C-alpha cells in the first residue's frame, strides 16, 4: 500500500470506533428532539401529535412567565461565567501551588482537594442546603460566632439564594479544573522556567509568558466543556434551592426545560427550549474556539 493510503487507513481505524458509538447514541435522539420541537406533543397530544411549525419556538421567546425567558437566560449566563471564573482561577492557582518542588505531602493534599468531586452530589448538595439555613446552618453559625457578622438569610431571597447556589457549585467544581491544570503543567519543560529565571523574570512574567500559553491547549477543551456543562447543570440549582425557591426565581434555562417537560408534560415546548439552549451553546463554542484556535496544535 502507498504511504498515503496507509496513513488514511490508520487514521480511520483510530477514529471509527469512537464515532460509531457517538452517532448511534446521539444523532438519533437529536433528530427526534428536533422533530418534537416542531410539534405540539403535550399532555393532550401525546400519541396523536402533529407538526405545528415554529409555534413552540415563538412561545419560548414570547410566553409571559414569571420569571421571563430573558431573566432566566441572563441568570444562566451569570451563573456560567461566575462559576467558570472561580473554577479555573482556583483550580489553576491550587495546581500551581501543588506543582512547586519544595512542597511535601503533595499526594495527601491532592487527595483531600479532590474530595468535593468524588462525593455523591445529591447528599452533598443537600448538606450545603442545610449549611445555608438561617438559624441552624453552619455558615451563619460561623459568620456570627467567629466573625461577628450578622446572619444572612441565604435561602429566603433570590439574590442570596443565587449566591448560595454558586458557592456550592464552585466548591464542587474547582477540583476538576485543578486536576486538569496539574496535568497540563506537566507538559511544560523545566528548562523554560530555568531559562526565564536566568533572565531575571518575575513570577508574573513567567506566569503570563510561559505557563498560561503552554497550558492553554489542555485547558481550552476543559473550559469549553466546563462552560457547556455548567450552563446545563440542573442538579445543583434544583437541589440547593429546592426546585427554584424562593418563588421560582432560582432557575436556569435547563431547570425551566425540566419543569416544562416533566412537570407539565409540555414535551413540544421543552424540546424547542432545548434546541434554543443548544443553539446558544453552539454559537458560544464556535466563537470561543475560533478565538483560541483550539482546533490547531500548540507547537
Partner 1 sequence: MNAKSKKYFRIVITYLVLVLFCLIALYPVSQILTVSLRPADRLMSTSLEIIPKDASLRNYKALFTERPFGLWLANSTFVALVVTFTGVALASTAGYAFSRFNFIGKKIGLLSLLVTQMFPATMLLLPMYIMLVKLHLINSYLGIMIMYSATALPFCVWQMKGYYDTIPTSLEEAGRIDGCNRFQTFYQIILPLASPALVITALFSFMSAWTEYIVAAQILQDTQMWTLPLGLKSFESNMGSEWGLYGAASMIVTIPVVVLFLSLSKWLVSGLTLGSVKG
Partner 2 sequence: MKPITRRFGSINRSTFHIFLFSFVIAGAVFCGLSGCSPKTTEKIRITIWHQDRIDIRVVLEAQIKKFMALHPEVQVEQLFKETESLRSGFIIAAIAGQGPELVYGPADQVGPFQVMDIILPLDSLFDKSYLDQFDPKGLTYYKGHLYQIADKLGNHLTLVYNKKLVPKPPTTEKELIDIGKSLTRDLDGDGKPDMYGLAWNYTEPFFFIPFMTGFGGWIMDDNGNPTLNNRGTIDGLKFIKDLRDKYKIIPNESDYEIADILFKDGKVGMIINGDWSWSGYEKAGIDFGVAPLPKITTTGLWCGTMVSPKGFSINANVSEEKKKWSIELIKFLTSDENELEAARILHTMPTKKSVLASDFVMKNDIMRNSQIAIEHGRPMPVVPELRAIWDAMRPSYQAVLGGYKPAEQAAADMQNDALRKIREMNE
Site for partner 1, residues 195 to 214, rule: CB under 8 A: 214
What is the C-alpha separation between 253 and 256, in angstroms, rounded? 5
- CB 66 to partner 1: min, Å: 21
Which of 52, 77, 82, 114 is the binder for partner 1 (CB under 8 A)? 114
Do residues 165 and 241 touch, judged by C-beta distance below 8 A?
yes
Q: Does 261 participate in binding partner 1 (rule CB under 8 A)?
A: yes
Q: Does 89 participate in binding partner 1 (rule CB under 8 A)?
A: no
DSSP label at residue 137: -
Beta bridge partners of 51: 39
Using CB distances below 5 to 8 A depending on partner kind, what does residue 156 bind out of partner 2, partner 1, none? Answer: partner 2
* Near partner 2 in 187-246, by CB under 8 A: 242, 245-246
Helices 28-37, 267-292: crossing angle, 10 deg rounding: 120
Q: Does 40 participate in binding partner 2 (rule CB under 8 A)?
A: yes
Q: Does 47 participate in binding partner 2 (rule CB under 8 A)?
A: yes
* Near partner 2 in 142-171, by CB under 8 A: 153, 155-157
Which of 5, 13, 64, 299 is the binder for partner 2 (CB under 8 A)? 64
- CB 115 to partner 1: min, Å: 5
Question: DSSP string covering 79-90, please?
Answer: HHHHHHHHHHHH
DSSP label at residue 259: I
Pick 108 or 159: Cβ nearer partner 2: 159
Summary count for the chain: helices (H), strands (E):
14, 0
Which of 117, 134, 206, 210 is the binder for partner 1 (CB under 8 A)? 117
Q: Does 259 participate in binding partner 2 (rule CB under 8 A)?
A: yes
- CB 144 to partner 1: min, Å: 12
**Phi, psi dihedral angles at 198 (to 5 degrees):** -65, -30
Q: Does 186 participate in binding partner 2 (rule CB under 8 A)?
A: no
Pick 61 or 262: Cβ nearer partner 1: 262
Pick 116 or 246: Cβ nearer partner 1: 116
At 252, is the secondary structure helix, strand, or coil?
coil
Find, among 34, 4, 51, 20, the residue nearest to 279 by Cα: 34
The residues, ordered by sequence, that sit 6+ positions from 275 with a Cβ below 8 Å of its Cβ are 33, 34, 37, 57
- CB 289 to partner 1: min, Å: 8
Which of these ranges, 36-44, 75-83, 96-104, 274-282, lies near partner 2 under the rule CB under 8 A? 36-44
Using CB distances below 5 to 8 A depending on partner kind, what does residue 148 bind out of partner 2, partner 1, none? Answer: none
Take residue 13 and report the three cell numbers written for it: 481505524
Find, among 258, 264, 257, 256, the residue nearest to 42 by Cα: 264
Q: Does 134 participate in binding partner 2 (rule CB under 8 A)?
A: yes
**Phi, psi dihedral angles at 51 (to 5 degrees):** -75, 140
Which of 248, 278, 280, 292 is the binder for partner 2 (CB under 8 A)? 248
Q: Does 246 participate in binding partner 1 (rule CB under 8 A)?
A: no
Do residues 233 and 254 touch, judged by C-beta distance below 8 A?
yes
Q: Does 165 participate in binding partner 1 (rule CB under 8 A)?
A: no
Amino acid at each position: 500500500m502507498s504511504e498515503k493510503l496507509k496513513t488514511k487507513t490508520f487514521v480511520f481505524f483510530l477514529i471509527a470506533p469512537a464515532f460509531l458509538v457517538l452517532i448511534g447514541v446521539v444523532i438519533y435522539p437529536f433528530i427526534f428532539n428536533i422533530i418534537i420541537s416542531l410539534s405540539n406533543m403535550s399532555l393532550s397530544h401525546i400519541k396523536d401529535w402533529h407538526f405545528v411549525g415554529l409555534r413552540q419556538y415563538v412561545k419560548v421567546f414570547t410566553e409571559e412567565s414569571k420569571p421571563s425567558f430573558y431573566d432566566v437566560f441572563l441568570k444562566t449566563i451569570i451563573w456560567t461565567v461566575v462559576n467558570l471564573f472561580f473554577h479555573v482561577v482556583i483550580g489553576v492557582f491550587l495546581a500551581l501551588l501543588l506543582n512547586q518542588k519544595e512542597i511535601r505531602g503533595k499526594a495527601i493534599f491532592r487527595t483531600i482537594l479532590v474530595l468535593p468531586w468524588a462525593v455523591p452530589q445529591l447528599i452533598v448538595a443537600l448538606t450545603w442546603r442545610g449549611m445555608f439555613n438561617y438559624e441552624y446552618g453552619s455558615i451563619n453559625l460561623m459568620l456570627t460566632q467567629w466573625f461577628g457578622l450578622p446572619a444572612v438569610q441565604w435561602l429566603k431571597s433570590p439574590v442570596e439564594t443565587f449566591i448560595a447556589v454558586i458557592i456550592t457549585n464552585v466548591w464542587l467544581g474547582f477540583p476538576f479544573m485543578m486536576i486538569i491544570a496539574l496535568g497540563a503543567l506537566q507538559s511544560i519543560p523545566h528548562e523554560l522556567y530555568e531559562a526565564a529565571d536566568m533572565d531575571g523574570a518575575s513570577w508574573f512574567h513567567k506566569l503570563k509568558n510561559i505557563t498560561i500559553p503552554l497550558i492553554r491547549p489542555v485547558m481550552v477543551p476543559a473550559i469549553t466543556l466546563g462552560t457547556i456543562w455548567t450552563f446545563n447543570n440542573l442538579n445543583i440549582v434544583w437541589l440547593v434551592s429546592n426546585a427554584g425557591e424562593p418563588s421560582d426565581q432560582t432557575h436556569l434555562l435547563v431547570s425551566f426545560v425540566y419543569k416544562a417537560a416533566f412537570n407539565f408534560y409540555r414535551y413540544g415546548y421543552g424540546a424547542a427550549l432545548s434546541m434554543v439552549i443548544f443553539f446558544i451553546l453552539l454559537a458560544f463554542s464556535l466563537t470561543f474556539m475560533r478565538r483560541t484556535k483550539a482546533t490547531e496544535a500548540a507547537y
